[in-house]
């Protein structure tokens, strides 16, 4: 499978950045994982929006789903053709109600997202097969219900979602070829209240414990030193480690 990083920012993207989002391309599916602020713009640098077959959201925090709103407008009103494909949108449990609450103040339709997407909530105790890519969801430790995601097709890609250190995260990352790890607790001054995110050191420790081959650090505040994050994580993890680079594609 091919993985293209679209956004690497934390809750607020820095200048020219985007929040969480990456594209996973298998033989029969093109899946957008997360759709934070700025991701929609980046995505269109690679694909027509209509080329995305499925969208998967790990948890209901704004930096992971906000661009679903302009995405919906693009599909509903931005096309001349009547034959617009409808991507399937997979939300975590409770996600449908949560998104309705977000859009209620301005929505012109009771079926705001359903107008553009086939919307459902995934069942974290079941695997989800999207065109030969097997998605598995594992609860992780965050301020709201959140799921780490593994994607396999013979090889294994793993994604932490937002999480503090927990055993679930080690399970997510276990023996993966590539581990995309959200390292949101990189601000020195905020460490004390950042239990729902990983420090760079913790990201390295989780990757080491899980036997990861290649660690990609992402979801880093723009005000943090990215070089320093990389150095701190590398002290804990001896394998291949990089900062996730927007628009870079990785083969898994
Ligand atoms: Zn979050
Ligand atoms: Zn986040």
CA 10 – ligand 1 centroid, Å: 9
Structural domain boundaries in the chain: 2-251
Residues with CB under 5 A from ligand 2 (ion): 63, 162
3-state SS, residue 214: strand
CA 61 – ligand 1 centroid, Å: 5
Identify the bridge partners of residue 24 per DSSP, sorted by sequence position: 3, 31
Q: What ligand has the least distance to the C-alpha of 219?
A: 2
- Give the C-alpha separation, 185 to 207, whole Å: 16
Q: What ligand has the least distance to the C-alpha of 144?
A: 1
Q: What ligand has the least distance to the C-alpha of 10?
A: 2
| Average confidence score pLDDT of the chain | 94
List the Cα angle 241/40/42 in 5-degree steps: 50
Q: What ligand has the least distance to the C-alpha of 218?
A: 2
What are the structure tokens assigned to 124, written together?
Answer: 């974290």
If you average pLDDT over each of 74-88, 131-145, 220-234, which comes out highest? 131-145
Top pLDDT among 79 and 131 is at: 131
- Give the C-alpha separation, 155 to 37, whole Å: 29
Sequence-distant (≥ 6) Cβ neighbours of residue 237 within 8 angstroms: 203, 204, 205, 207, 208, 212, 215
Identify the bridge partners of residue 173 per DSSP, sorted by sequence position: none
- Give the C-alpha separation, 3 to 17, whole Å: 18
CA 63 – ligand 2 centroid, Å: 5
Eight-class DSSP state of 143? S
User: What fold, for 2-251?
Assistant: Metallo-beta-lactamase; Chain A (3.60.15)
What radius of gyration, in Å, describes the C-alpha atoms of the chain?
Answer: 17
Q: What ligand has the least distance to the C-alpha of 145?
A: 1
Q: What are 128-183's pLDDT values in tens digits?
A: 999 999 999 999 999 999 999 999 999 999 999 999 999 999 999 999 999 999 99
Least Cα distance to 218 among 24, 20, 2, 14 occurs for 20
CA 84 – ligand 2 centroid, Å: 30
CA 26 – ligand 2 centroid, Å: 25
Q: What are 2-47's pLDDT values in tens digits?
A: 999 999 999 999 999 999 999 999 999 999 999 999 999 999 988 8
């Amino acid at each position: 499978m091919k993985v293209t990083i679209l956004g690497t920012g934390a809750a607020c993207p820095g200048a020219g950045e985007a929040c969480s989002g990456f594209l996973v391309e298998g033989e029969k599916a093109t899946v957008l994982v997360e759709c934070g602020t700025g991701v929609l713009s980046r995505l269109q640098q690679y694909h027509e929006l209509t080329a995305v077959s499925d969208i998967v959201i790990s948890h209901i925090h704004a930096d992971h789903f906000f661009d679903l709103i302009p995405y919906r407008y693009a599909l509903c009103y931005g096309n001349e053709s009547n034959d617009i494909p409808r991507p399937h949108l997979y939300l975590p449990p409770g996600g449908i109600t949560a998104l309705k609450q977000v859009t209620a103040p301005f929505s012109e339709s009771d079926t705001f997202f359903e107008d553009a997407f086939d919307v459902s909530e995934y069942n974290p105790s079941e695997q989800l097969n999207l065109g030969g890519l097997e998605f598995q969801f594992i609860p992780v430790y965050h301020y709201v219900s959140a799921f780490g995601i593994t994607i396999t097709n013979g090889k294994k890609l793993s994604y932490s979602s937002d999480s503090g250190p927990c055993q679930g995260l080690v399970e997510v990352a276990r023996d993966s070829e590539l581990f995309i790890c959200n390292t949101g607790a990189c601000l020195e001054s905020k460490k004390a209240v950042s239990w729902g995110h990983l420090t760079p050191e913790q990201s390295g420790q989780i990757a080491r414990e899980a036997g990861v081959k290649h660690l990609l650090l992402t979801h880093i505040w723009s005000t943090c030193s990215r070089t320093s994050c990389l150095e701190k994580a590398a002290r804990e993890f001896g394998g291949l480690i990089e900062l996730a680079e927007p628009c870079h594609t990785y083969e898994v």
